[in-house]
Amino acid sequence: MDSKIQDVLDTYHVMIREEQNSPRQLAPGGRDGGQDMRLRAVGRETGQLINILAKSLEKPVILELGTSFGYSGIWLAEAARSAGGRLITMELHEYKSEHAKGMATKAGLADWIDFRIGDAVEMIGHLTDGIDFVLVDLWKDLYLPCLEAFYPKLNPGAIIVADNMLRPGDENVRQYGKAIRAKPGITSVLFPVGSGIEVSRFDR
């Protein structure tokens, strides 16, 4: 990582530590009310792993489902730049996407990122290019609908990483785990990294 990227990651790591040491509070507007300020970031180890995986692909089209405040997008955009690809990141709330864009600009990575705002399932449907890498890290009840939307758009050799498979590990992620393993051409492994990640590969 160059110094600009490392400085931005260090800023995020301070924010992550502060969040982890603070009591959890429900946002006044609820989860979709536009006042949620929690990062819910994947964490350093998961960030490093998705960076390594995405860099293993040639000129990848990377799809991030759940921009949030932009932490994982830094890792993915650095991989996109290194591998000659690009990152498409999707977020419901504009204020989160704008924060992520500002941090990506500070890191010198904004030119490799296409920020999209709206309903993820709907936006996936509008994608015209095949997908080489997916990070699934949004509200857990959207994991399965998103899978059904992006699966037909996967290129051979595509890698899919889903976060929070062990924590919180609720029924939604269990359904996602069963569903992706049942898809033709998919091989999948659950890793105890961070909050638990399901790493899948599409070979058909």
Domain range annotation of the chain: 3-20+30-202
pLDDT tens digits, 118-159: 999 999 999 999 999 999 999 999 999 999 999 999 999 999
24 confidence band (pLDDT: 50, 70, 90): confident
Which residue pairs, CB below 8 angstroms and at least 24 apart, start in 140-145?
Answer: 140/164, 140/168, 140/170, 140/172, 140/173, 140/176, 141/172, 142/65, 143/172, 143/173, 143/175, 143/176, 144/172, 144/175, 144/176, 144/179, 145/121
Side-chain half-sphere exposure of 183, counting CA atoms within 13 A: 23
The architecture CATH gives domain 3-20+30-202: 3-Layer(aba) Sandwich (3.40)
- Give percent above pLDDT 90 in the chain: 86
- 35: its two tokens: 């006042």
The confidence score (pLDDT) of residue 37 equals 80
Average pLDDT, the chain: 94
The pTM is what?
0.94
3-state secondary structure of 113: strand
